[in-house]
Structure 1
Amino acid sequence: MPKDSDKPRTPMPLLRKPTAEDGAEIWELVRTCRPLDENSMYCNLVQAEHFRDTCVVAEEDGELLGWISGHIIPESDAIFVWQVAVSPRARGRGLGRKMLAHLINRDECTNASELKTTITPDNEASWALFRSFAEHIGGTLTDKPHFRREEHFGGRHETEHMVTIALPEEVSLAEAA
Structure 2
Amino acid sequence: MPRDVQDIERPQQLVLRKPDPTDGSDVWELVRDCKPLDENSMYCNIVQAEHFRDTCVVAELDGRIVGWISGHMIPNEDALFVWQVAVSGKARGLGLGRKMLMHLINRDACADATRLNTTITRDNDASWALFRSLARHVGGELSDDPHYTRHEHFDGRHATEHMVTITLPREAGRAFAA
Structure 1-normalised TM-score?
Answer: 0.91
Matched-pair contact (CA < 8 Å) for 1:12–1:95: no
Q: Does 1:101 align with 2:81?
A: no
Q: Which runs of 5+ in 2 are unaligned?
A: 1-8
SS at match of 1:151: coil
Q: State the match for 1:13 in structure 2.
A: 14
Q: Which amino acid is the alignment partner of residue 34 of structure 2? A: C
Shift, 1:12, TM fit = 5.9
Percent of residue pairs bearing the same amino acid type = 69
Say if 1:51 and 1:165 are closer, same or farther in 2 by CA, change over 3 A. same
Q: Distance in 2 between matches of 1:163 and 1:140?
A: 10
Matched-pair contact (CA < 8 Å) for 1:56–1:67: yes
Q: State the match for 1:27 in structure 2.
A: 28
Q: Distance in 1 between matches of 2:61 and 2:161?
A: 32
Q: Which amino acid is the alignment partner of residue 37 of structure 1? A: D
Matched-pair contact (CA < 8 Å) for 1:138–1:168: yes
Q: Does 1:125 align with 2:152?
A: no
1:58-102 Cα distance to aligned partner (Å, 9 max, x none): 012220010000000011000000000000000011000000000
Structure 2-normalised TM-score?
Answer: 0.90
Q: Superposition RMSD on alpha carbons, in Å?
A: 1.5
Q: Which has the larger Rg?
A: 2
Q: Distance in 1 between matches of 2:143 and 2:97?
A: 19
Q: Distance in 1 between matches of 2:29 and 2:122?
A: 25
1:19-52 Cα distance to aligned partner (Å, 9 max, x none): 0000000000000100000000000000000000
Q: Distance in 2 between matches of 1:18 and 1:164?
A: 25
Q: State the match for 1:67 in structure 2.
A: 68
Q: Which runs of 5+ in 1 are unaligned?
A: 1-7
1:71-82 → structure 2 map (5 Å cutoff)? 71-82=72-83
Q: State the match for 2:3 in structure 1.
A: none
Q: Which 4+ residue blocks in structure 1 deviate beyond 6 angstroms? A: none
Say if 1:12 and 1:113 are closer, same or farther in 2 by CA, change over 3 A. farther
SS at match of 1:28: helix
Q: Distance in 2 between matches of 1:19 and 1:109?
A: 18
1:102-122 Cα distance to aligned partner (Å, 9 max, x none): 000000100000000000000
SS at match of 2:153: helix
Which deviates more, 110-119 or 165-174?
A: 165-174
Q: Distance in 2 between matches of 1:12 and 1:157?
A: 38
Q: Distance in 1 between matches of 2:76 and 2:13?
A: 34
SS at match of 2:86: strand
Say if 1:172 and 1:72 are closer, same or farther in 2 by CA, change over 3 A. same
Q: State the match for 2:176 in structure 1.
A: 172
